[in-house]
């Protein structure tokens, strides 16, 4: 019939190109169309292209709010208009333990740390794809009761593997005292999703302190730390090698020792960037401003030098807005119990908002996003993906 | 030689003649090769055939002519914004009747911009469809056994085979 020949049968190659642009929920539904489609959705190259598309077209801000005391938590995705796009069910995580926090978010997978509850349980991790409702337990490491550590989580397309990297101090495994914000960490261990096991890594830092935040981008995991100078530690997920780069340029502007709040290490336009709120005293009056540095590869002969340049200074600000993360071209901030004097604002009111600073337009926008029912929060970049927490087939 | 002509004539698979300007034809790699290889001067009576039907070729040429000035010279942000709006209007078409043909043509003519646009349009149209609607459009038969369907339903409670 003429009408039949009018409808072309699309080659599978074209169908793939259409399907990778679908939202995850449609892809999950369309598994039922036929076996070819169901199999396609498990192929690594398709999953990888879908993630790229998802990150570009549908980036989310993931907000985890919790209140340990009342054992309440909420996990939400905010869209680009800062509306709640989805409330994620945390049931599959809370069936393991009520206390948990997110260490990192990468290609739709979350690395979750189950809380040690004052050392009663050993520290352990879960890998979780909340959209696909898949959870995988990461085996426990030896003797890691009550340890302070800094955990990074990332993916490398070179080896097609996700890795969790933990910087820790072996002595702290035994001590129970609180080490404060900063910890001297001199050992490292790594879990690989494809091998399903942990191993110890060569870690050259002898007496360095690190913030608790790590971030991953382009097949690397980055930490911010310092011994004599501030430094960036990068871990290449494919080669499993650490690189330590001191950034003396940062020191002149920032008195690290004065810092109580950790630096935020984040990714901005595929470059590593750091954000921090800085209090300074000028002629007896205290001011507060937010600074952002961008880290770039330097042109030095040694090859791997990093140059850290201050790209933005926002302020002085009337209220203390603490930078939480960099999201697209915006710095996401939250109000922190302020030390800027004489403003007398209603703190409870300010606390319920997220403040976004647009680096292009230099404008602030304020969104009512937090509920008074929670007192802690963590924020991550997130994209929905089909990535499975099962073993990755090479 | 090709540099002396501003428009070329091509035949559709239905045998109809179409004119396309040289700058618009350059959006397609195969057409560009043709421009270099084939003699388009007046004394050459060979008219190349493009394996795309007339109805589709009209649309493809319309797209090329609209996008050619921007592709050749670069454009301001406001032009890009205007072009985006034009693309959305241009893509308001029936999936089966014409969109799939456009997809095939854009793929065959190596036109990246049109191909991406058509893929995204198809995805946007498909995302709200039921599984049976999808099967109908793509001529796909349900090849799951009833046991396999049952298993999929258990894994993903939201799944429906209809």
In three state form, how does the secondary structure of B78-144 look?
Answer: HHHHHHHHHHHHHCCCCHHHHHHHHHHHHHHCCCHHHHHHHHHHHHHHHCCCCHHHHHHHHCCCCCC
Q: Which of A269-273, B35-39, B125-129 has the lowest mean pLDDT?
A: B35-39
Share of chain A above pLDDT 70, in %: 77
Picking from A138-142, B64-68, B121-125, which range would have the lowest pLDDT averaged per residue? A138-142
Please spell the DSSP secondary structure of A199-245, one letter per residue.
EEE----SS-EEEEEEEEETTEEEEEEESSSEEEEEEETTTTEEEEE
Residue A278, token pair as written in the block: 């800085």
As given in the structure block, the two tokens for residue A141 are 């490491």
Residues of A in contact with B126 (CB under 8 A): 18, 22, 26
> Does residue A255 register a pLDDT over 60?
no
- Position with higher pLDDT, A374 vs A27: A27
Confidence of residue A3 (pLDDT cuts 50, 70, 90): very low
Closest CA to A20 of A43, A53, A44: A53
What pLDDT sits at residue A249?
A: 60
Q: What number of C-beta contacts closer than 8 Å exist between A and B?
A: 77
Mean of pLDDT values over A245-254: 61
Q: pLDDT, tens digit, for every residue of B30-55?
A: 888 877 776 555 555 667 788 888 99
Q: Could you tell me which chain B residue has the CA closest to the CA of A134?
A: B155
pLDDT band at A240 (very low <50, low <70, confident <90, very high): very high
Residue ranges in chain A assigned as alpha helix (H): 2-6, 12-19, 24-29, 35-40, 44-57, 91-94, 248-253, 347-351
pLDDT band of residue A101 (cuts 50, 70, 90) is confident
Write out chain A residues lying below 8 Å of B156, CB-based.
Answer: 28-29, 31
Q: How many other C-beta atoms lie within 10 A of the C-beta of residue B58? A: 15
| pLDDT given at position A339 | 46
pTM, whole model, 2 decimals? Answer: 0.82
The DSSP H or E segment spanning A76 is strand A72-78
Question: For B20, how many CA atoms within 13 A lie in the half-sphere containing its CB?
Answer: 33
User: Is it the case that residue A107 has pLDDT exceeding 90?
Assistant: yes
User: Cβ of B158 and A29 within 8 Å?
Assistant: yes
Q: Is the separation of the CB atoms in B104 and A14 below 8 Å?
A: yes
What value does the mean pLDDT take over residues A290-301? 76
Across the interface, of A9, A19, A28, the residue whose CB is closest to B156 is A28
Distance CA A211, CA A155 (A): 21
Residue A336 · residue A320 · CB < 8 Å: yes
What pLDDT was estimated at residue B102? 93
Q: How far apart are CA A296 and CA A14, in angstroms?
A: 38
- Answer yes or no: do B134 and A21 touch at CB < 8 A: no
Return the residue of A nearest to B101 by Cα. A8
CA dihedral A68, A74, A75, A81 (to 10 degrees): -130
**Yes or no, beta carbons of A14 and B107 under 8 Å apart:** yes
Instruction: For residue A313, give the nearest of A262, A266, A276, A366 by alpha carbon.
Output: A276
User: Per residue in A32-78, pLDDT tens?
Assistant: 999 999 999 999 899 999 999 998 888 999 999 887 677 778 899 99
Report pLDDT digits (tens) over A114-123: 876 555 556 6
Residue among B127, B139, B149 whose CB faces A9 most closely: B139
Mean pLDDT of B114-143: 92
Confidence class of residue B4 from pLDDT cuts 50, 70 and 90?
low
| Whether B13 contacts chain A with CB within 8 A | no
**What mean pLDDT is predicted for residues A206-221?**
82
Residues A382, A62 contacting (CB under 8 angstroms): yes
Q: How confident is the model at residue A133 (pLDDT cuts 50, 70, 90)?
A: confident
Task: For residue A25, give the chain B residue with the closest CA.
Answer: B127
A309-364 pLDDT, tens digit per residue, is 888 889 888 888 888 888 888 998 888 764 444 444 444 566 678 889 999 999 99
| A21 vs B contacts (CB less than 8 Å) | 119-120, 123
Among A133-147, A271-285, B7-21, the minimum mean pLDDT is found in A133-147
Q: Which residues contact A85 (CB under 8 A, 6 or more apart)?
A: A60, A76, A77, A78, A79
Q: Under DSSP, is residue A87 helix (H, G, I), strand (E, B) or coil?
A: strand
Rounded Cα gap, residues A186 and A234, in angstroms = 14
Closest CA of chain A from B19, distance in Å: 24
B160 touches chain A (CB under 8 A): yes
Cβ within 8 Å of residue A352, ≥6 positions away: A368, A369, A370, A371, A372
Question: Residue B103: its chain A contacts at CB < 8 A?
Answer: 10, 14, 18
- Find the helix or strand (DSSP H, E) in which B58 lies: helix B54-73
Of A7, A9, A18, the CB nearest to B126: A18
Chain A contact for B125 (CB, 8 A cutoff):
no
The pLDDT, as a whole number, for residue A36 is: 93
Residue A144: pLDDT band (50, 70, 90) is low
What span, in angstroms and rounded, lies between the C-alpha atoms of A364 and A366?
Answer: 7
The confidence score (pLDDT) of residue A343 equals 46
Which chain B residue is nearest to residue A20, measuring alpha carbons? B123
Rounded to the nearest integer, the mean pLDDT of chain B is 83
Q: What is the pLDDT of residue A256?
A: 47
Question: Does position B120 have pLDDT exceeding 90, yes or no?
Answer: yes
Chain B residue numbers with beta carbons less than 8 Å from the beta carbon of A30 are 131, 134
Among the listed ranges A168-177, A228-237, A287-296, B97-106, which one has the minimum average pLDDT value? A168-177
Q: Which residue has the higher pLDDT, A274 or B4?
A: A274
Computed over every residue of chain A, the mean pLDDT equals 79
Out of A137-146, A313-322, B60-69, the most confident range is B60-69
The stretch A148-170 carries a mean pLDDT of: 88
- The domains located in chain B, with CATH, are 7-128 (3.30.710.10)
Question: A6 to chain B: which residues are within 8 Å by CB?
Answer: 96-97
Of residues B24 and A308, more confidence is placed in B24
């Amino acid at each position: 019939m003429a009408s039949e020949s009018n409808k072309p049968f699309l080659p599978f190659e074209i169908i793939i190109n259409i399907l990778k642009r679908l939202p995850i929920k449609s892809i999950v539904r369309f598994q039922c169309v036929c076996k070819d489609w169901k199999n396609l959705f498990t192929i690594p190259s398709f999953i990888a292209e879908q993630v790229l598309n998802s990150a570009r077209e549908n980036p989310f801000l993931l907000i985890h709010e919790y209140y340990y005391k009342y054992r309440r938590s909420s996990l939400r995705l905010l869209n680009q208009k800062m509306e709640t796009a989805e409330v994620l069910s945390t049931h599959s995580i809370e069936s393991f333990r009520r206390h948990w926090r997110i260490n990192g978010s990468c290609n739709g997978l979350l690395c979750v740390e189950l809380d040690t509850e004052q050392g009663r349980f050993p520290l352990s991790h879960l890998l979780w794809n909340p959209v696909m409702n898949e959870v995988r337990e990461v085996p426990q490491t030896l003797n890691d009761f009550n340890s302070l550590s800094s955990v990074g989580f990332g993916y490398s397309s070179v080896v097609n593997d996700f890795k969790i990297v933990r910087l820790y101090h072996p002595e702290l495994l035994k001590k129970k005292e609180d080490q404060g914000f900063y910890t001297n960490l001199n050992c490292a261990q790594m879990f690989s999703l494809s091998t399903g096991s942990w191993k110890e890594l060569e870690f050259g830092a002898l007496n360095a302190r690190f913030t608790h935040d790590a971030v991953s981008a382009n097949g690397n995991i980055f930490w911010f730390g310092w011994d004599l100078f501030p430094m960036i530690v990068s871990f290449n997920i494919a080669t499993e090698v650490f690189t330590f780069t001191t950034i003396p340029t940062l020191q002149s502007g920032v008195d690290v020792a004065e810092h109580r709040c950790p630096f935020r290490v984040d990714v901005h336009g595929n470059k590593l960037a750091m954000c921090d709120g800085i209090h300074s005293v000028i002629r007896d009056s205290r001011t507060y401003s937010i600074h952002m540095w961008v880290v770039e590869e330097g042109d030095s002969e040694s090859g791997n030098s990093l140059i850290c340049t201050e790209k933005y200074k926002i302020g002085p600000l009337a209220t203390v807005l603490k930078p939480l993360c960099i999201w697209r071209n915006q710095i996401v901030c939250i109000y922190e119990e302020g030390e800027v004097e004489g403003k007398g604002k209603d703190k409870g009111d300010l606390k319920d908002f997220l403040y976004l600073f647009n680096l292009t337009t230099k404008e602030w926008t304020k969104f009512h996003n937090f509920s008074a029912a929670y007192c802690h929060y963590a924020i991550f970049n997130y994209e929905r993906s089909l990535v499975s927490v099962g073993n990755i087939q090479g | 030689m090709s540099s002396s002509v501003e428009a070329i004539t091509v035949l559709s698979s239905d045998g109809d003649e179409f004119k396309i300007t040289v700058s618009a034809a350059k959006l397609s790699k195969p057409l560009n090769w043709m421009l270099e290889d084939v003699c388009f001067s007046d004394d050459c009576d060979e008219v190349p055939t493009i394996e795309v039907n007339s109805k589709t070729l009209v649309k493809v040429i319309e797209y090329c002519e609209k996008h050619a000035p921007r592709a050749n010279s670069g454009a301001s942000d406001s032009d890009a914004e205007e072009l985006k709006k034009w693309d959305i209007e241009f893509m308001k078409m029936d999936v089966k009747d014409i969109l799939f043909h456009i997809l095939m043509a854009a793929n065959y003519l190596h036109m990246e911009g049109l191909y991406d646009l058509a893929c995204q349009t198809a995805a946007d149209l498909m995302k709200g469809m039921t599984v049976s609607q999808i099967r109908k459009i793509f001529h796909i038969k349900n090849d799951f056994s009833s046991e396999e369907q049952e298993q999929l339903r258990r894994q993903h409670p939201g799944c429906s085979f209809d």
